[in-house]
A and B are shown apart, each in its own frame.
Chain A
Amino acid sequence: MKILVTVKLVPDTTAEKRIDPSTKRLVRTGVETVLNPFDEYAIEAALQLKEKAGGDTTVTIVTLAPESGKEIVRKALAMGADDALMISDPAAEGSDVWGTAYALAQAIKKNGFDLVIAGTQSTDSTTGELPGALAEYLGVPGVTYVRKLDLDGTALKAERETDTGYAKVSTDLPALVSVTKSINEPRYPSLKGIMGAKKKTIAVQTLADAGVDKPIGSDAARTEVTNLETPPARGKGQIFEAADAVAGATKIVEFLRERKLV
């Protein structure tokens, strides 16, 4: 079974970020690049499925990223993935969700797959749209926001988080799932894994190599960013003075009720 995990390289989540007003894009120079933290859950889910299934199951990391991000992709390999496929092409720069999903889909189809696992969203643009778009381009069922995942042969069973609870979903492979933070606790790369990762293959392909037959990148983007603003500063919090815990709790409940939050 071939499991592919899509990952994104993002600016360090703790770093201070700046938008270049002329390009309306994030300034990445001087900010450390890391593996999108949400994707670590997807890698972990894939590794757990592999460990359970055994046999010839493989986990391949797929990403659309500049080749300079190779060492970050290696972290995913250090966690235990078997190999990686990087689509690195200057022509992909500035791709929107559509372009990225299309390029990834073409590469994944060319590579062959049974199951694609993605994180729910990235920590930089946070659209959460990619998994859905990718499933569409792959022409397979897309089960998003999965908090529990089980495979029995080609039968996939999942619990999908909803606003009010969860839904049980089942489908046959091939399929795509996106997983949430509650699905697992991602493992750390072990030192042996780190040492082993340098011997694993990271195949680097251009868009043409990957079978991407339409232009993507900033010029082909279907998304237009019209304006960007810094979020307004948070208003001052409200402090309740209360004689004891019960009185304090009552005040907080009243406050939440007034705003119909409980």
Chain B
Amino acid sequence: MLATSTSVSPRRRELDFQLFDVLEIDKLLATPHFAEHDRATLDAILDAAYEIAGDYFAPLAAELDAFDYKLDNGNVATPARLKTAVRAFIDAGFMGASFLADDGGLQLPSTLSSAAGLVFAAANGSANSYAFLTVGAAHLLAAFGDDEQRERWMKPMIEGRYFGTMALSEAQAGSALAEVQTKAVPAADGTYRLSGNKMWISAAEHDLSENIVNLVLAKLPDAPPGVKGISLFIVPKFLVDADGTIGERNDVVVTGLNHKLGQRGVVNTVLTFGETGECVGYLVGKPHDGMRQMFHMMNEARISVGAGAASLSIAAYEYSLQYAKDRPQGRLPSDKNPLSPQVAIVEHPDVRRMLLEQKAIAEGGLALVLYCAHLVDIAAASTDDAERRNAELLVDVLTPVAKTWPSERGIVSTSLAIQVLGGYGYSPEYPVERHFRDQRLNPIHEGTTGIQGLDLLGRKVRLADGAGVTLLVAAMRADIAAARAHAALAEECDRLSEMTTLLPDVTKTLLQAQIELGPDRALTEATAYLDAFGTVVVAWRWLVMATRAAAAAADDFNSGKLAACRYFYRYELRQTKASLEHLAMLDDSIASVRTEML
């Protein structure tokens, strides 16, 4: 296009390296499940993502961030340029990229649709959220909706005519969804009438689509207590006739908008159901099965949150890198001549440190989330039962890690991007302060970091008698063996090799403690465990990247991979070793503190 297109992160070579050199996703194309695609198609699809993200998403990011959403008689208007951007995304067919051909999708590898999603998220996370929520909601109906529900609600979402939301939280029920109070009462016609309120619901009101399909957690009158009493309902903004004609407005209204630190470009609402007793809902699947169904989407959503976090880090890293190359400031300590030309700030060692740290986090996070997406593809495409089950188990175990590590480290990383720009970085004139504010949501939504820690240590590493960690360690050992072919990677191989013993040992100790000391005490340091676990996994992904780089031409790109890998091992993994050793001591510094002492 001739229109001035904004450059978009990640750099294309980075994404190509991750997809085709590290994960070798072209090999998937040999499986019958993905046989419709070839490498040229995948390249062209990424070209389209970069083009639309550069032409429409990136130039809109600052404007959308500053846009003040207003509630006007229950309606929320969005900026005109957002409509154009979203339309370009839909017209190109990105909404249906990850769906099965039978559902009207393109059946692309999840790794590729995730990579395209990363490009859109890096360009404009808020604009991308509208699509991301819709895709998640449609995936849920693809898995659990009946034929009629799929036809009436899912297909229009894949076509981009309807958008979707996830309505879980309530004012009194955030992390503890068992406390949900929204009620659903059966009506004579087989549908349900909902009443109650939901909080923090993104994209539940806007003018970007013909209809909005809210997927709502609520309780039936005979619901057992706790999460086992939660059911899932489709609650559309507009009712739809059997022939697909849009009918009356449903009794679900936005009663308030929430204003936030970041992700300001996506409208966030307070929803009220059944003010006049006429809020129609449709049960998805069986009664009381809502949590299980919602968690099907939630796992996908959690990996996507991690992907969004990685994309923000990479956008901030690449922006601050370019800035550091362009900004002249000061001289090296050895240069005492005030008349000599100033150096670009990238020449200063401390700036290089901040860039290297960002590179290690951003590209490491990218590698982690794309690896998880690749596991989803293996699970979908493999004809070998054991291989499929293993891939599914690894995805289960890695979901809290992929959600949290890029999010938490992303706060550090985007903060460093601001630091590289100095005072300018702290001002809204430059995008890195937006990246930082947007990043801050990621450790909170779709399950906080604390919840993810409990999920990993309290549940995921115990799945299948702890087979997940065993599988993970075996995969690491295989990659260490391959990396040994490169003498330059000997140090990294040794350090990771040590972790393949230490991580399972510490895991065993903490699992034993759950039996001996009880879960309350043994899970005290679940978050620290999650962080250490994540750093070991990312170190492994860095070793795989470095192995590919070591085998390729010694150009700047590949040398950069080797340097960032070394940095990660010497500065990050070393600390993780200490953390793991500390975890094994079952320290009571946290457990022994009473509330009154704080």
Are A and B interaction partners? yes
Chain A residues engaging chain B, CB cutoff 8 angstroms? 37-38, 40, 71, 74-75, 78, 181, 186-192, 194-195, 197-198
The answer on a CB contact under 8 Å between B2 and A37 is: yes
- Contacts A/B (CB < 8 Å), 8 sampled: A71-B43, A188-B48, A190-B48, A190-B91, A191-B96, A191-B108, A192-B106, A194-B48
CB-CB under 8 A for A198 and B93, given A181-B2, A188-B88 = no
Pairs A-B, 3 closest by C-beta atoms? A191-B93, A194-B44, A37-B2
The answer on a CB contact under 8 Å between A75 and B44 is: yes
Q: Which of A75, A189, A190, A194 has the most CB of B within 10 A?
A: A194
Considering the complex, give the chain A residue whose CB is closest to the CB of B43: A71
In the complex, whether B278 has a CB less than 8 A from a CB of chain A is no
**Complex formed: what's the CA distance from A192 to B38 in Å?**
13
The answer on a CB contact under 8 Å between A186 and B1 is: yes
The answer on a CB contact under 8 Å between B1 and A194 is: no
B37 touches which of A38, A186, A195 (Cβ 8 Å): A195
Q: Tell me the smallest distance from the CB of A80 to a CB of chain B, in Å.
A: 12
B92 touches which of A38, A188, A197 (Cβ 8 Å): A188
Considering the complex, give the chain B residue whose CB is closest to the CB of A37: B2
Q: Tell me the smallest distance from the CB of B216 to a CB of chain A, in Å.
A: 31
The answer on a CB contact under 8 Å between A71 and B40 is: yes
With a CB–CB cut-off of 8 A, which chain A residues contact B94?
191
**Complex formed: what's the CA distance from A217 to B106 in Å?**
43
Considering the complex, give the chain A residue whose CB is closest to the CB of B97: A191
Considering the complex, give the chain A residue whose CB is closest to the CB of B93: A191
In the complex, whether B154 has a CB less than 8 A from a CB of chain A is no
The answer on a CB contact under 8 Å between A198 and B97 is: no
B80-99 CB mask vs A (1 if < 8 Å, else 0) is 00000000100111101100
Q: Which of A74, A75, A188, A189 has the most CB of B within 10 A?
A: A188
**Complex formed: what's the CA distance from A71 to B41 in Å?**
10
In the complex, whether B21 has a CB less than 8 A from a CB of chain A is no
In the complex, whether B476 has a CB less than 8 A from a CB of chain A is no
Q: Tell me the smallest distance from the CB of A147 to a CB of chain B, in Å.
A: 15
**Complex formed: what's the CA distance from A189 to B43 in Å?**
13
The answer on a CB contact under 8 Å between A188 and B91 is: yes
In the complex, whether B51 has a CB less than 8 A from a CB of chain A is yes
**Complex formed: what's the CA distance from A189 to B91 in Å?**
9
With a CB–CB cut-off of 8 A, which chain A residues contact B93?
190-192
Considering the complex, give the chain A residue whose CB is closest to the CB of B37: A195
Q: Which of A37, A181, A189 has the most CB of B within 10 A?
A: A189
With a CB–CB cut-off of 8 A, which chain A residues contact B43?
71
The answer on a CB contact under 8 Å between B40 and A198 is: yes
Dominant SS at the B interface? Answer: helix
**Complex formed: what's the CA distance from A181 to B4 in Å?**
13
The answer on a CB contact under 8 Å between A188 and B97 is: no
Q: Tell me the smallest distance from the CB of A244 to a CB of chain B, in Å.
A: 23
Chain B residues engaging chain A, CB cutoff 8 angstroms? 1-2, 36-38, 40-41, 43-45, 47-48, 51-52, 88, 91-94, 96-97, 106, 108
Considering the complex, give the chain B residue whose CB is closest to the CB of A193: B93
The answer on a CB contact under 8 Å between A194 and B41 is: yes
**Complex formed: what's the CA distance from A74 to B47 in Å?**
13
With a CB–CB cut-off of 8 A, which chain A residues contact B41?
194-195, 198
CB-CB under 8 A for A189 and B52, given A181-B2, A195-B36 = no
The answer on a CB contact under 8 Å between A190 and B36 is: no
**Complex formed: what's the CA distance from A190 to B93 in Å?**
6
Q: Tell me the smallest distance from the CB of A233 to a CB of chain B, in Å.
A: 19
**Complex formed: what's the CA distance from A186 to B51 in Å?**
12
- 18 additional contacts, CB 8 Å, given A37-B2, A78-B44? A38-B2, A40-B1, A40-B2, A74-B40, A75-B44, A75-B47, A188-B48, A189-B48, A190-B92, A191-B106, A191-B108, A192-B106, A194-B44, A195-B36, A195-B37, A195-B106, A197-B44, A198-B40
**Complex formed: what's the CA distance from A108 to B372 in Å?**
51
Considering the complex, give the chain B residue whose CB is closest to the CB of A38: B2
B48 touches which of A38, A40, A74, A191 (Cβ 8 Å): A191
**Complex formed: what's the CA distance from A71 to B44 in Å?**
9
Q: Tell me the smallest distance from the CB of B322 to a CB of chain A, in Å.
A: 15
Q: Tell me the smallest distance from the CB of B16 to a CB of chain A, in Å.
A: 13
Q: Tell me the smallest distance from the CB of B36 to a CB of chain A, in Å.
A: 7
With a CB–CB cut-off of 8 A, which chain A residues contact B45?
191, 194
**Complex formed: what's the CA distance from A198 to B37 in Å?**
9
With a CB–CB cut-off of 8 A, which chain B residues contact A191?
45, 48, 92-94, 96-97, 106, 108
The answer on a CB contact under 8 Å between A37 and B48 is: no
With a CB–CB cut-off of 8 A, which chain B residues contact A198?
38, 40-41
**Complex formed: what's the CA distance from A40 to B3 in Å?**
12
**Complex formed: what's the CA distance from A186 to B47 in Å?**
15
**Complex formed: what's the CA distance from A40 to B96 in Å?**
25
**Complex formed: what's the CA distance from A202 to B44 in Å?**
17
Considering the complex, give the chain A residue whose CB is closest to the CB of B7: A14
Q: Tell me the smallest distance from the CB of B58 to a CB of chain A, in Å.
A: 15
With a CB–CB cut-off of 8 A, which chain B residues contact A187?
91
With a CB–CB cut-off of 8 A, which chain B residues contact A194?
41, 44-45, 48
Considering the complex, give the chain A residue whose CB is closest to the CB of B113: A191
**Complex formed: what's the CA distance from A198 to B41 in Å?**
8
**Complex formed: what's the CA distance from A82 to B45 in Å?**
19
**Complex formed: what's the CA distance from A195 to B45 in Å?**
9
Considering the complex, give the chain A residue whose CB is closest to the CB of B108: A191
With a CB–CB cut-off of 8 A, which chain A residues contact B2?
37-38, 40, 181
Q: Tell me the smallest distance from the CB of B161 to a CB of chain A, in Å.
A: 16
With a CB–CB cut-off of 8 A, which chain A residues contact B88?
188
Q: Tell me the smallest distance from the CB of A195 to a CB of chain B, in Å.
A: 6
Considering the complex, give the chain A residue whose CB is closest to the CB of B52: A188
The answer on a CB contact under 8 Å between B1 and A189 is: no
CB-CB under 8 A for A188 and B51, given A37-B2, A71-B40, A75-B44 = yes
